[in-house]
A and B are shown apart, each in its own frame.
Chain A
Amino acid sequence: MKPHVALRGVTRVYPGKTPVYALGPIDLALERGEFFAVVGPSGCGKSTLLDVMAGLASPTAGEIVFEDRPVNGDVPPGIGVVFQEDASFPWLTVHDNIAFGLRQAGASEAEVARQVGYAIEFMGLKDFARAYPAQLSGGMRQRVCIARTLVLKPRLILLDEPFGALDQQTRLLMGDELLRLWRETGATILLITHALDEATMLADRVGVMSARPGRFLDVIATDWPRTRDSTIVASESFGRLTSRIWTLLRGESIRALGRA
């Protein structure tokens, strides 16, 4: 079967007097409906990888193919992105934030009301539809951003440390919600995270990246059932997998720290 999204020899170099080799070369193929997580030491180019995959930045070399079309410097329809930083629009209510993309795409107001109503319900934001982002907690604002992405029914969702700013309990619960929406939408997900447990718990496969310039040291399959949830953190194989990833990553993290 053809991969849903494929990267071949993707490299990103920031030019200058001393060029910065930020990423790659990266080769990666994601199956349709797969949940893939990327972990790596800080500054290894994880976010650059996401930018290049989303079409927010062009690769210096190599190519990205999404649904048989090359991605280069433009975000193709069908790709949704959730960022680490708060990307909610502070001048719009929760409802209007979530409706933003639909209205942009020219959906009728009846359609907007229906879709946004469903997303608000799904993300547990029902009591906050008329609130402004400033009145919400960080976790709530991130839900708004996820809902804004979801209503556009993306077939590939890229998440850049979406729960990075949240506390541990909220992160586990948000992880459960992410698994739920992954199952319900059937979308392909690429999640970038620095939290090993998050990667192990959520993903079908975990790509472990090296220190800069980031490339994959190994890709580890988790073999979780599709119906998993956060309770698997208690299982024996969860600990085994997480420690395997950490063994791979430890030396790289030390290298990254030494250079910082």
Chain B
Amino acid sequence: MSSAGWTRIALVAGLVLLLEALCRAGVIPNFTVIPPSAMAQSLWKVLASGKFTPDIIATLTNVGIAIAASMVVGIALGTLLQSWPAARRVLDPLFATYYAVPMYAFYPLLIVLFGLGDLPQVAIGFLLAVMAVIINTLNGLDRVPPVLVKAARVHGLGFLKTAHRVRLPYAAPYIFTGFKLAVAYSFIGVIGAEFITSSRGIGYEISFAYNNFDNPVMYAMILFILALVVTVNMSLHAWEKRLLARRRRA
């Protein structure tokens, strides 16, 4: 590992130890933050009890659906728009302001539309994620060298096959960036929405524990999300590096 990597690990470990010391010394009272070691213990107990397994499954399922839907819709719309410049010129300024819109403001509307089940959460995750996929798909497709599209025509490929066999594979590293963002946004959207009006999920349980002054459970679930998201993102990063290695000039 690089020295920056070791320094990073030391930094995180140092901060955790500092927090532990401050909590143990009573500088930070236990009803505000519990020591990290107590969070880990509590997380272990909570996971072993299986009490929150349905919540974890519900959250992960909704995040998964939001990711999958945003990928399918985002890639399809990106491909369509890239080959339809007139529509793209109309929509581009709207895309640029898209992330200025606080999606959670639409939560009441989504409940009216989709009811009180899982759909509003999935919808928020999807809405946050899909634009990142569209923008990165467009960005990748813009970079396809014209000679590769010519080569596709020489091989007799039509529009859909050229997209599927040549243009999207070329754009894959850029679409992967969109995928990473879609994963992050889906977690943010779904878990955030669970805080508002939901009857299950990790976000709901954190909110419930908070309202009942149940610090051990609240911090256990926060730690769980943190560990989960960091692991997922690091795995994606490693996967991306492997995919890119073969494309890079030796």
Contact = CB atoms under 8 A, between A and B. Distances in A.
A134 B151 contact: no
A111 to B, nearest CB: 17
Contacts of A81: 150-151, 154
21 contacts: A54-B154, A75-B156, A77-B156, A83-B151, A86-B145, A87-B150, A89-B151, A89-B166, A89-B169, A90-B247, A91-B169, A91-B170, A91-B172, A91-B246, A91-B247, A92-B169, A104-B157, A132-B246, A134-B246, A134-B247, A145-B151
A168 interface: no
A85 interface: yes
Interface of B: 145, 147-148, 150-151, 153-157, 161, 165-166, 169-170, 172, 246-250
A135 B245 CA distance: 10
Q: State the main secondary structure of chain A at its contact with B.
A: loop
A80 to B, nearest CB: 7
Interface of A: 54, 56, 75, 77, 79-81, 83, 85-87, 89-92, 100-101, 104, 132, 134-135, 145
Given A83-B147, A85-B145, A90-B170, A75 B249 contact: no
B168 to A, nearest CB: 10
Residue in A83, A86, A91, A134 with the greatest tally of chain B CB atoms within 10 Å = A91
Given A85-B145, A134-B248, 11 more contacts: A56-B153, A75-B156, A83-B150, A86-B145, A89-B151, A89-B170, A91-B170, A101-B155, A134-B249, A135-B246, A135-B250
A87 B151 contact: yes
Q: Most B CB atoms within 10 A — which of A77, A80, A101? A: A101
A90 to B, nearest CB: 5
A242 to B, nearest CB: 30
Contacts of A101: 155
A132 B154 contact: no
A80 B250 contact: no
B19 to A, nearest CB: 45
B3 to A, nearest CB: 29
Contacts of A100: 155, 165
